[in-house]
Amino acid sequence: MSSSTLPPSTRAATRAEARTARVAAPRRGRLSRVGDVALVVAAAAGALCIVLAIAAAVFDVRVTLFSTGSMSPTIPAGAAAVARGIPASEVRVGDVVTVERAGKLPITHRVTSVAGVPEGDPEARRITMRGDANAVEDPFPYDVERVRIVMFSLPGAAPLIAAGATPPVMVGVTVAATVLVVAVFWPRRGRGRPRRRPASARRGRT
Three-state secondary structure of 24-53 = HHHHHHHHHHHHHHHHHHHHHHHHHHHHHH
Mean pLDDT of 90-102: 95
Mean pLDDT of 142-148: 95
Q: What is the pLDDT of residue 1?
A: 47
Burial environment of residue 42 by CB neighbours within 10 A (0 to 12, 13 to 18, 19 or more): middle
Burial environment of residue 85 by CB neighbours within 10 A (0 to 12, 13 to 18, 19 or more): middle
Domain edges within the chain: 3-56+166-190+197-204, 61-161
Give me the chain's average pLDDT, please. 77
Task: Kindly report whether the peptide bond that precedes residue 73 is cis, defined as omega within 30 degrees of 0.
Answer: yes
18 to 2, 10, 29, 44, 165: CA distances (angstroms): 18, 12, 17, 39, 50
- Please, what is the Cα angle at 142 between 141 and 146, to 5 degrees? 155
102 to 38, 49, 68, 83, 144: CA distances (angstroms): 44, 29, 20, 20, 12
Which CATH superfamily does the domain covering 61-161 fall into? Answer: Umud Fragment, subunit A (2.10.109.10)
Stronger pLDDT, 102 or 18, i.e. the higher one: 102
Stronger pLDDT, 6 or 124, i.e. the higher one: 124
DSSP single-letter state for residue 198: P
Nearest CA to 117 among 131, 101, 128?
A: 128
Chain segment 10-43, per-residue pLDDT in tens: 555 555 555 555 544 455 566 567 667 766 776 7
Chain segment 41-55, per-residue pLDDT in tens: 767 766 777 777 787
Q: What is the pLDDT of residue 2?
A: 47
